Structure 1
Amino acid sequence: MTHTHQDGTFVRDESRDLYERATSLIAERDDESAASTQQSRIEAEVFTELMGSERYGRVRGYGVGVTPTQLSEVSRYTQHAAADAQDSRVRRLEAEIQEIRQSRAAKMEEMRQSRAEMQAMRGQIDRLTSLLEMLLAHQAPVEIAARHVETTTTIHLLIAKALEM
């Protein structure tokens, strides 16, 4: 009834007239009632007024031969197709979540191993520091002071390198 060409013009003049009358009636009634929740009710009233009431065994606006049973079958098919699409999307998202969890667990294990390696290096650095201090204790006091500063600087550099790993 309201078929249009690609440029938006109506195929039939009757369709254009019907559309214009419906639009003006909806606008008038919409101005009268301020509640926007009544919009669909107003549109249904105008449609019934212009097109007439429902007739048994026919579906208004779908042309000749379409029955309510056929329309409900299409509706059920559409609902099942939408549900299947949603189920597919849910399964895909669940798989992505599982993949992210596995990746996170692997990274956490890698971090634990790195932390254990750093603690082992700190232990080695502490042992080297104590050995160097023992060696320096047996040397002349002037040399001890100079080497202590140099050794402390070296130790700090080693610690910094170890922490960068």
Structure 2
Amino acid sequence: MLKRFKVEDHMTWVLDQIHRSYHNYRHYLKKIWYETCETTEEARKKIPPNVAEDDWQYLINMWSSPEWELISKKNVENRSKNNIIHTSGSKSFSQIREEERKKTGNDPGRTFLWELTHVRPDGLAANPASQEALSKLKKLYTQMSVENSEMTEDEIFVKVFGPERSSRVRGYGNGVTPKELWGPSSSSSSTVSELRRQLEESKQRQEESERRSAAEVQGLKEQLGRVEGLLSVQMNRFEGLLVQLTSHMHSPAQIERCTENPPSRNGRPRMTRPRR
């Protein structure tokens, strides 16, 4: 390889590619020649072609160890959390980017490349989570273009997917790191973008809380107005009843005269003669 290719300036990428190829081939051996066997002893006798027996026994010992089974279980759990599914098949993102560059003469942006690698021919993403992420990317990209926002595509990706890891950049495939793509300051730039995203989300939560509080206050005011209206109606009704009751009542003098001169049998008031 060193005689046929000039790799001095790309040794890190070459070693990384060799490492990935080795892991992919080992995964193939495990899936086809190890997991199809019912017992470990059966797998030891089933040596794949072009694999030395010592190497195969080493792999069997590694795969059957409790430590490896624990690591495999954890990796399965981590992969299950990644619900974003690409639709590029075995073709790498780098190949798709290069094909698009040759076709249009321009380097495709991250949003457009993400759409190329995650959307099916019918225009939809592979699953709801990917479709939701695509909708967010398109919405933010449109806002950036229409409003002349200072937000970059890289910041859009951070806002939708979170900060980039130090070992890879979304949409660029294997082997590309933030440091190689944006320089040594990429980690600080990603941190600033993440802090900006958190600040914006905090503002949105505060605005939503203020809107809910205003709605609650308005509801309490309306409820208080209804209660005051009911009280006013009840007070007016009570005052009316009080006036009616007062108009039917006799004065104390009338009550006293009626008591002194009770009515006769025929209903006429009795006449009292003065005493001599």
TM-score by length of 1: 0.43
For the pair shown, the structure with the greater C-alpha radius of gyration is 2
Greater RCO, CA 8 A, separation 6+: 1
